[in-house]
Amino acid sequence: MVPPSGEKAYQIAGDVFVEMWERVTRRRPALIRSPAEEDDLPAGDVVLIGSDAVHPIAHALIRRGALETLGLVYGTDGYRILCVPDQGRRYLIVAGGSGRSTLYAVYDFFRRQAGVEYFWDGDVIPRRDTIEWDGIDVIENPRFRYRGLRYFAHRGLHRFQAEHWDLEDWKREIDWLVKKRFNLFMLRTGIDDLFQRAFPDDVPYPPTDAQDPDARDRSYDDRTSFWPLKYRGELRKRVLQYARDRGLLHPEDTGTITHWYSHTPSSFYRSFPDFPVITDQTRGYKLHTAAIWDVEHERAWDAYWRLTETHIREFGCPRIFHTIGMAERRFGKTRRDNFQKKLYVYRKTQQILREHYPDAPLLIASWDLAHQWEDEEVHQLLNEFDPERTILLDYTADDADKVSYRDWHVLGRFPWIFGIFHGFARNSDIHEDYALLAGRLEEAKKDPMCRGLVLWSEISHSDTFMLEYLAENSWQPRGLKASFAVKRFCRTRYPGDLAARMEPLWSKFLITSQTAHWSMRGTQRVVLSEPQFHMLTSPWLTFTPRRVEEILAERDKIRSGLKPAPEVLAGLTTLAETHFENPLWRRDAIDMARTIANRALLATLMDAVDQMEAWRQNQAGPWKIRRLAQLNRQLLEALCDLLALSDDFSMAASLRRL
């Protein structure tokens, strides 16, 4: 029984409850809108969707003393699932402090009472004759206010890159976000037709049957859309509306938003030939259409705000804002020139935002701070932000060689979100040092100023284990150790007998996978730069003495991590005989095996570096190098055969889906 009023999410929660009940029991319960009076209730047990703030029957139960309170903090993500026997019938109250958290409660009810589990690549739904709820009483509240993911603008295989997802793909993804109790996501997939909507008389749509006129061949600066740009704009609108109906937050980009994935169309400059663009940039993107407009001119700021307000009007909802500043660029002749210009941009961005939305939270993306700022410069910047309305989105908090939130004096002093960057668009295998991550998250969970836990990667769906770890610990960080996460992952993703056999394999496999962890500056960069797949272009294959030393240090770590790999592969091979048709297991097994192959390929390449240096110094013969080359080719062929088992790795399959 859904309430007669309230957010649309309450009606959706009722629809979901009915759908899930039917999927479990094969019986469909009746869905009705709540009457104003109890006298009009149908006979039998009743499920009440929503709290007493929206549901008159829940309010009546409290009013007459059937219960005192739901114990909710209204307007938040907490929820209660409660069985209330009263006057000869049972009421099941499934209620959140908001419509969004009422949806959380519905999905959690079926997880607890029916054994349902939710994954990005499908739900696990046991069949039952009935679902018991007698005596249930659950109260849940999140530790972190903000929990979610970013979807990035790179293009590639359908599984990994959200640029290629159509509406049905996005509906599944957004439903999964809600099932996992996330509340924040960001489309960093370009700006679609924002310029055409903001400047309709001056910026035409590009041709639908040819390359974008501003594209640069075979580069990330080719933003030609497979679908017509106008359709992409409508798709964006429908995706964000679908998410908004379920209560999800999507940050509105503001400030100097022009970047490589948010180009200024050249037609804009033809319409405004004297439009001011920054001319003192010394490092970063050189393409004219990717330029930042001249921040010394009010005309530029007026146009930037016009883009933001157009996105709000056409696509968005101004509940939370985001700025990346002037990321990945440098300006002026001196470090002071660059620093002062970037400070000014943050000041101006805030000033304009506060004119229009005085109290909305503003997320400050950390990417440029981590790349190009000194710690002392970040200290000065943070001193200029109002901590009541500003949050540092530190999505480089998992950098192996820098603890940014400590170095920037954020702990206990300034609101921040712990962001796991995890990897670039190319890093599609399973990785992350969970001992390092768990230690840092222990600090974050104890800091009352830490407001969120997010994954801000450049790739989606690459690491199912990480996604489950994130979902569980962004709600309540109680399972930070990898051993705990493995037990939970296997128990929820596989049937009982398979779970018991996969748990030791996962535990051993993580010894291999954890030899790779993201770092912006440290030697671990060599692993995630994947030189084994860039033999002609990788800078790591320029063998200076220092670089050789770094490569061999990482080589020793990878070789040690590969010791359990034969046992893991043998175990997966045995299980494949009986479980290959299980799609969740098959995807995990291929991901585990290809991760091992990636590390082994890299290890042979690193061994070759060692042997080549020895050969150059007349300390080794050529036969070892030839043997390593043969082994490398065999590993690459085996990896190709492995990837051919799944359309996840087929560009042809991705293109057919488009």
Task: Kindly state the average pLDDT of the residues 172-189.
Answer: 98
Q: What whole-number percentage of the chain has pLDDT above 70?
A: 100
Residue 240: its pLDDT value, please?
Answer: 98
Which of these ranges, 158-167, 221-230, 243-252, 462-471, has the smallest mean pLDDT?
221-230
Residue 37: its pLDDT value, please?
Answer: 76
Equal fold, 8-140 vs 148-493: no
Where residue 647 falls among pLDDT bands split at 50, 70, 90? very high
Residue 541 has pLDDT above 90, yes or no: no
Residue 90: its pLDDT value, please?
Answer: 96
Does residue 518 contact residue 528 with C-beta atoms inside 8 Å?
Answer: yes
The CA angle 494-497-499, to the nearest 5 degrees, is 40
Does residue 43 contact residue 37 with C-beta atoms inside 8 Å?
Answer: no
Residue 221 has pLDDT above 90, yes or no: no
Where residue 542 falls among pLDDT bands split at 50, 70, 90? confident
Residue 329: its pLDDT value, please?
Answer: 94
DSSP notation for 581-606 = T-HHHHHHHHHHHHHHHHHHHHHHHH
Where residue 472 falls among pLDDT bands split at 50, 70, 90? very high
Where residue 463 falls among pLDDT bands split at 50, 70, 90? very high
Residue 39 has pLDDT above 80, yes or no: no
Length of the chain: 658
Residue 157: its pLDDT value, please?
Answer: 97
pTM reported for the whole predicted model? 0.97
pLDDT tens string 70-106: 999 999 999 999 999 999 999 999 999 999 999 999 9
> Which residues have CB under 8 Å from 265's CB, separation 6+?
195, 203, 206, 214, 289
Q: Give the architecture-level CATH label for domain 148-493.
A: Alpha-Beta Barrel (3.20)
pLDDT tens string 592-624: 999 999 999 999 999 999 999 899 899 988 999
CATH 3.90.45.10 for domain 8-140: no
Domain boundaries, the chain: 8-140, 148-493, 502-657
Residue 206 has pLDDT above 80, yes or no: yes
Residue 116 has pLDDT above 80, yes or no: yes
Where residue 545 falls among pLDDT bands split at 50, 70, 90? confident
Task: Kindly state the average pLDDT of the residues 4-15.
Answer: 97
pLDDT tens string 340-363: 999 999 999 999 999 999 999 999
Count CA atoms closer than 13 A to 434's CA, side-chain side: 23
Residue 633 CB: number of other CB atoms within 10 A? 11
Residue 36 has pLDDT above 80, yes or no: no
pLDDT tens string 570-596: 999 999 999 999 999 999 999 999 999
Task: Kindly state the average pLDDT of the residues 313-336.
Answer: 96
Residue 76: its pLDDT value, please?
Answer: 98
Where residue 40 falls among pLDDT bands split at 50, 70, 90? confident
> Which residues have CB under 8 Å from 606's CB, separation 6+?
551, 552, 554, 555, 558
- The DSSP code for 360 is S
Residue 579: its pLDDT value, please?
Answer: 98
Where residue 12 falls among pLDDT bands split at 50, 70, 90? very high
Where residue 223 falls among pLDDT bands split at 50, 70, 90? confident
Where residue 523 falls among pLDDT bands split at 50, 70, 90? confident
Residue 278 has pLDDT above 80, yes or no: yes
Residue 658 has pLDDT above 80, yes or no: yes
